[in-house]
């Protein structure tokens, strides 16, 4: 049965590598590295569990290429040629993460202006444009100099080469969600008037040069992928028409897979894209309903019409198998990314491949407040706190799988939020020691 359903069909990449099915674990931040940025036994255990979960591809969370620009405390850091200790840990991570015969790709990233002040109060970015969020969690960035940009591109290459040598089977360059490369792409955050700013060609130079140099370093048979915003969803920002052109350039550069996403910290489409659960769709669901289940499918359809060989991965909101099969059968996507459900049910992809109608729903049972106070979540501040609590509950499940091999579904969102904040403070304190 499974060899006839769309999600079970293998995907052959332009480089010749075969992904065994059309399900991928999307990148989710783990926070399980040592204070020196070295992968831990907990991180390896987490990926061993996911490796046996059924997905044909696992994408890691942010591996940062500059220790002064973390996405969050607990990131793995590769900003120089790895030491023996780092390479041993990377090899252990890769071996555990590929134990089930799946692909394991390292996502490499730089937070840029989205580095929190407790990590760096004056982060580097394309231009001195601050994150417009209250609370003082992000400082005013310092514009990068030309030589620093070239150095950062080289660090992306160093990380990609380390991934290949350690046994990862591919890499993904993070150019979405408002992180550094996304900042270069957006005219709202890139105000430069040199060769790295202004026209789209200049704004895309950082990304395209990074991909070109990585490809040269890892060779033609090693998968190289990019995660790209379909749009920033901000007036005057990186628009879909620009994203489409960048996708064409990436295909010409020999990219093996493009993942479509969207948003930034200021306009967090990506925070919602894999967090809105609903009941599994019945088998008689209308095609239009199935298509709407995934947030970025329409963008992917328009891109697919312009591309020839480069496959697209779409992550965002998929919960029913029929919606996944619909996206694949209609050509809207070549690979389906799944995130949050795999934090609470790490083997859910096996269930889908075996005929399950959909993914488990956790968020309907998650609330920071007791039932009689749920109305208060409609208040902006309370709702924002409640949203973060749910997000941190998923972080806590990732932590639990890493430490015990299984999630702790009975944990409350409040407990998860306090746990993650406590661990972050401890990690930063140890890092500064």
Q: Read off the pLDDT of residues 228-253 as tens digits, 9 standing for 90 and up.
A: 987 655 566 678 889 899 999 999 99
Nearest residue to 190 via CA among 242, 261, 248: 242
Q: What's the mean pLDDT in 389-402?
A: 92
Confidence category of residue 297, pLDDT binned at 50, 70, 90: confident
3-state helix, strand, coil in the chain (%, to 5): 40, 15, 45
Rounded percentage of the chain residues whose pLDDT exceeds 70: 83
Q: What's the mean pLDDT in 215-227?
A: 97
Rounded percentage of the chain residues whose pLDDT exceeds 90: 67
Nearest residue to 60 via CA among 69, 71, 207: 71
* Whole-number pLDDT of residue 271: 43
* Whole-number pLDDT of residue 45: 98
* Whole-number pLDDT of residue 76: 98
* Whole-number pLDDT of residue 275: 33
Q: Hey, CA dihedral for 314, 348, 388, 376, is it positive or negative?
A: positive
Q: What's the mean pLDDT in 20-33?
A: 96
* Whole-number pLDDT of residue 370: 56
Q: What's the mean pLDDT in 57-68?
A: 97
Q: Which residue has the higher pLDDT, 232 or 263?
A: 232
Q: What's the mean pLDDT in 338-364?
A: 90
Confidence category of residue 386, pLDDT binned at 50, 70, 90: low
* Whole-number pLDDT of residue 333: 92
User: How are beta strands 312-315 and 170-175 bridged, if at all?
Assistant: unpaired
* Whole-number pLDDT of residue 234: 58
Nearest residue to 170 via CA among 340, 347, 13: 13
* CB burial readout 225-258, b (16+ within 10 A) else e: bbbbbbbbbbeebbbbebbbebbeebbebebbbb
Q: Which element (helix H / strand E) includes 240?
A: helix 240-252
- The pLDDT mean for the chain works out to 87
In the chain, which segments carry CATH 3.20.20.70?
Answer: 6-360
Q: Hey, CA dihedral for 298, 299, 300, 303, is it positive or negative?
A: positive
* Whole-number pLDDT of residue 277: 24
**Do the beta carbons of residue 313 and residue 334 sit within 8 Å?**
yes
Confidence category of residue 276, pLDDT binned at 50, 70, 90: very low
CA–CA gap between residue 192 and residue 255 (Å, rounded): 27
* Whole-number pLDDT of residue 68: 95
Confidence category of residue 381, pLDDT binned at 50, 70, 90: low
**Which position has the token pair 């049965």?**
1
pLDDT(101) > 80: yes
CA dihedral 193, 194, 200, 204 (to 10 degrees): -140
Burial, 337: exposed, middle or buried (Cβ in 10 Å; 0-12, 13-18, 19+)? Answer: buried
pLDDT(292) > 60: no
pTM over 0.85: yes
Nearest residue to 49 via CA among 89, 102, 3: 102
Query: CA Rg, the chain, in Å?
Result: 20
Class of CATH domain 6-360: alpha beta
CA–CA gap between residue 128 and residue 122 (Å, rounded): 10
């Amino acid at each position: 049965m499974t060899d006839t359903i769309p999600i079970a069909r293998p995907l052959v990449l332009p480089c010749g590598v075969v992904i065994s099915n059309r399900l991928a674990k999307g990148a989710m931040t783990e926070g399980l590295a040592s204070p020196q940025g070295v992968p831990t036994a907990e991180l390896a255990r987490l990926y061993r569990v996911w490796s046996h979960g059924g997905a044909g591809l696992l994408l890691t969370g942010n591996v940062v290429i500059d220790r002064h620009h973390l996405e969050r405390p607990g990131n793995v850091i590769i900003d120089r040629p790895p030491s023996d200790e780092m390479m041993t840990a990377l090899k252990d991570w890769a071996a555990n993460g590929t134990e089930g015969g799946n692909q394991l790709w390292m996502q490499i990233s730089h937070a840029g202006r989205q580095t929190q002040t407790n990590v760096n109060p004056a982060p580097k970015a394309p231009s001195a444009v601050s994150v417009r969020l209250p609370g003082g969690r992000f400082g005013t960035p310092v514009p990068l100099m030309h030589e620093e940009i070239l150095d950062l591109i080289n660090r992306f290459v160093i990380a990609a080469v380390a991934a290949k040598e350690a046994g990862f089977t591919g890499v993904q360059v993070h150019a979405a969600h408002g992180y550094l490369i996304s900042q270069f792409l957006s005219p709202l955050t890139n105000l430069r008037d040199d060769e790295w700013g202004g026209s789209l060609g200049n704004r895309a130079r950082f990304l395209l040069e990074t991909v070109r140099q990585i490809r040269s370093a890892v060779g033609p048979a090693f998968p190289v992928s990019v995660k790209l915003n379909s749009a920033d969803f901000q007036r005057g920002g990186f628009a879909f028409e620009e994203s489409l052109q960048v996708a064409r350039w990436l295909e010409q550069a020999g990219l093996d897979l493009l993942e479509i996403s969207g948003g930034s910290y200021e306009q967090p489409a990506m925070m919602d894209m894999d967090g809105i659960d609903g009941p599994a769709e019945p088998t008689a669901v209308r095609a239009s309903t199935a298509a709407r289940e995934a947030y970025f499918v329409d963008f992917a359809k328009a891109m697919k019409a312009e591309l020839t060989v480069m496959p697209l991965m779409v992550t965002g909101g998929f919960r029913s198998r029929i919606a996944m099969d619909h996206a694949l059968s209609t050509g809207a996507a070549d690979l389906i990314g799944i995130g949050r459900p795999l934090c609470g049910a790490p083997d859910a992809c096996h269930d889908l491949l075996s005929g399950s109608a959909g993914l488990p729903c956790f968020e309907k049972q998650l609330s920071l407040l007791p039932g009689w106070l749920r109305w208060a979540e409609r208040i902006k501040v309370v709702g924002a706190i409640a949203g973060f609590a749910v997000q941190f509950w998923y972080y806590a499940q990732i932590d639990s799988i890493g430490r015990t091999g299984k999630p702790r579904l009975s944990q409350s969102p409040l407990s998860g939020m306090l746990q993650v904040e406590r661990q972050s403070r401890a990690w930063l304190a140890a890092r500064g020691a």
